Amino acid sequence: MKTKIVATVGPASNSKTTLKALAQAGVRVFRLNFSHGDASMFVDIIRSIREIEAELAVPLTIMQDLSGPKIRLGMLEEKAINVAKGMRLLLGPTARRITELPYLPFDHEVILESLTPGDRMVLADGGLQFTVVERRPDALVLLEANNSGIVTSRKGLALPGKATKVPALTEKDKRDLAAGLILGVDAVAISYVQTAEDVREAKNIILAAGKNIPVVVKLERQGAVDKLDEILRETDVVMVARGDLGVECPLPMLPALQKRIIRACNKAAKPVIVATQMLLSMVNSPAPTRAETTDVANAVLDGADCVMLSEETAMGNFPVETVQYMREITAQAEKLLLEQRELVEPDADRGIPEFLAYSACLLAKKAGAKAIVSHSMSGSSARQISSRRPPQSIYALTPEPESVKALNFSWGVIPVHIADPAAETSHVGRAERFIASSDEFLPEEKIVITAGQPPKGGQPRGTNLVKIYWK
């Protein structure tokens, strides 16, 4: 089990019995979607996950997914507006309620002021598309429909390719994040990120609360993709959120965009999640479609660390069966990935950590090692090794509980918590002790170890050692 599975918790899966079955089927990250409530909804769920974690003796990661600034229409005066192609409508504040044309209430003044003729506007996840014709002297915006459909109240609105001044963290998000940190979430996903500053804002809130949990950036806007390099420098994990991203960019471009994002994340040794509609038909069907099966497999072959289920486990009729299917699909794809993927030497301008990770993988390959055991405090060394996709399992040893949970996002990594670090202060010694006491390794098997070897009388300063160990 190398590719990690993220499962969204909802009405179909929020009982302890189902949560346990999901974990037994292979889920390692549970997503709590704060778009549909606040922290009070998740207290019992978090308690159940922690109990299951103890019962199964397996680290389980709880990811809080903040709703972000979802831009929506207001409440229509009529039940619905039937829109025909070429029809003109007005967009403006709820308080105006103009009757000369069909009226769409929209109380986002900053966005209204930014609209210019030619801008595209999309409603209902792409179901209806409009072009901005004019910003009138009365500050209302004239739209023309590019296709036919029905508009109802509170529909989500997107402006493909257009940057807005709306912050990624709303006041609700900040309240939810503070509450989530108190409840003990292990990671937080932030929505509609546009810049690296959005990531820094979330991290500052987390640090101010005395926590050190990973931030997951959801790539949903073209502007964020355009600034991927600078966002990657700040974030810990990336999610290819194909729902909104598929609205922001033309759908035929989405597969190539997914591949480019994953490639960049692999190069930066940052875990990447592929999300949205991966096995959507299994909401109502006990088996996926051929296309869905291929989609999941291709995500693994592209280099995804995690694949995510949304409606499938939150509200579907077959949540456990869906995870079982996803596990089988990823297992088969991993075999092909390991056949095709070659170990490539890092470029000359890369740093020491990259070369140490490469050396560990090369040594494991040449020696026919059973596994790679990596000791580090932050888990960075294990992530570097993971990004090279070695066929060996990667055991990541750390005394830091937060690092254990963060490593559940990394492909092929089995996090191991060093519960009593004082019993053995040497990082190499901890790795050797783990191997010697583990039933996973047989006598005479070879294991590669990476660790920090401090100078005499000094403290470890990061990974600086790669060695082969015979049990």
139 with 207, same domain: the answer is no
Q: Taking the CA atoms of the chain, what radius of gyration do you get in angstroms? A: 24
User: In whole angstroms, what is the distance from residue 58 CA to residue 373 CA?
Assistant: 18
Phi, psi of 452 (to 5 degrees): -100, 120
SS3 state at 282: helix
- Share of residues in the chain with pLDDT > 90 (%): 77
Of 158, 176, 207, the position where a domain reaches its end is: 158
Q: pLDDT band for position 381 (50/70/90)?
A: very high
Buried b (16+ CB within 10 A) or exposed e, 423-450: eeeebbebbbebbeeeeebeeeebbbbb
415 with 444, same domain: the answer is yes
Cα 327 to Cα 18, 29, 297, 332: the distances in Å are: 17, 14, 10, 9
Of 136, 158, 180, the position where a domain reaches its end is: 158
358 with 440, same domain: the answer is yes
Q: Is the dihedral of CA 101, 107, 109, 113 positive or negative?
A: negative
Q: pLDDT band for position 445 (50/70/90)?
A: very high
Closest by Cα among 451, 435, 305, 300 to 383:
305
285 with 403, same domain: the answer is no
Q: pLDDT band for position 425 (50/70/90)?
A: confident
Q: Is 296 part of a structural domain of the chain?
A: yes
Known catalytic residues? Answer: 31, 72, 218, 276
148 pLDDT above the threshold of 80: yes
Q: Per residue in 71-128, pLDDT tens?
A: 889 899 888 999 999 999 999 999 887 888 999 999 888 889 889 999 999 986 667 9
Q: Is 210 part of a structural domain of the chain?
A: yes
Greater confidence (224 vs 453) lies with: 224
Residues 6+ apart with CB under 8 A from 86: 144, 145
Domain holding 177, by residue range, is 4-69+167-336
User: In whole angstroms, what is the distance from residue 361 CA to residue 390 CA?
Assistant: 6
Which CATH number goes with the domain that contains 270?
3.20.20.60
What's the N-to-C CA distance of the chain in angstroms? 24
Of 106-120, 127-141, 149-163, 197-211, which gets the smallest average pLDDT?
149-163
Of 305, 336, 367, the position where a domain reaches its end is: 336
Of 26-40, 113-127, 360-374, 430-444, which gets the smallest average pLDDT?
113-127
114 with 243, same domain: the answer is no
Tokens at residue 218, please?
A: 């959801």
Which element (helix H / strand E) includes 217?
strand 215-219
Which CATH number goes with the domain that contains 144?
2.40.33.10
Buried b (16+ CB within 10 A) or exposed e, 205-217: bbeeeebebbbbb
User: In whole angstroms, what is the distance from residue 351 CA to residue 98 CA?
Assistant: 61
Mean per-residue pLDDT of the chain: 93
Q: Per residue in 245-272, pLDDT tens?
A: 988 888 899 999 999 999 999 999 999 9
Neighbours of 26 (CB within 10 A): 18
Q: Per residue, what are the HEC states of 144-194?
A: EECCCEEECCCCEEECCCCCCCCCCCCHHHHHHHHHHHHHCCCEEEECCCC
125 with 192, same domain: the answer is no
165 pLDDT above the threshold of 80: no
User: In whole angstroms, what is the distance from residue 445 CA to residue 458 CA?
Assistant: 32
317 with 268, same domain: the answer is yes
SS3 state at 218: strand
**Please, are residues 384 and 409 in contact by the beta-carbon 8 Å criterion?**
no
Residue 72: DSSP 8-state? B
Q: Is 104 part of a structural domain of the chain?
A: yes
Per-residue confidence (pLDDT) for residue 126, from 0 to 100: 67
212 with 321, same domain: the answer is yes
Q: Is 379 part of a structural domain of the chain?
A: yes
User: In whole angstroms, what is the distance from residue 446 CA to residue 468 CA?
Assistant: 7
285 pLDDT above the threshold of 80: yes
Q: Is the dihedral of CA 247, 249, 252, 255 positive or negative?
A: negative
Q: What is the pTM of this model?
A: 0.91
User: In whole angstroms, what is the distance from residue 152 CA to residue 74 CA?
Assistant: 9
Closest by Cα among 188, 199, 256, 269 to 227:
199
399 with 459, same domain: the answer is yes
Q: Is 344 part of a structural domain of the chain?
A: no
- Residue 406: what residue type? A
Residue 34: DSSP 8-state? G
Q: Is 343 part of a structural domain of the chain?
A: no
Q: Is 446 part of a structural domain of the chain?
A: yes
Bridge partners (DSSP) listed for residue 219: 240
- CA dihedral defined by 279, 240, 29, 155, rounded to 10 degrees? -70
User: What is the tally of structural domains in the chain?
Assistant: 3
Which CATH number goes with the domain that contains 392?
3.40.1380.20
53 with 183, same domain: the answer is yes
Strands 27-33 and 61-65 come out as: parallel
Tokens at residue 348, please?
A: 């000359």
Q: pLDDT band for position 459 (50/70/90)?
A: low
Per-residue confidence (pLDDT) for residue 386, from 0 to 100: 97
Tokens at residue 98, please?
A: 């103009």
Among all chains, which residue has been given the structure tokens 């492909």? Answer: 411
Residues 6+ apart with CB under 8 A from 358: 343, 345, 346, 388
User: In whole angstroms, what is the distance from residue 305 CA to residue 337 CA?
Assistant: 12
Q: How many CA atoms does the CB half-sphere of 442 hold within 13 Å?
A: 3
Q: pLDDT band for position 457 (50/70/90)?
A: low
244 with 147, same domain: the answer is no
Greater confidence (261 vs 37) lies with: 261
Q: Is 435 part of a structural domain of the chain?
A: yes
59 with 9, same domain: the answer is yes
Tokens at residue 273, please?
A: 């999640």
**Arithmetic mean of pLDDT, 167-183:** 94
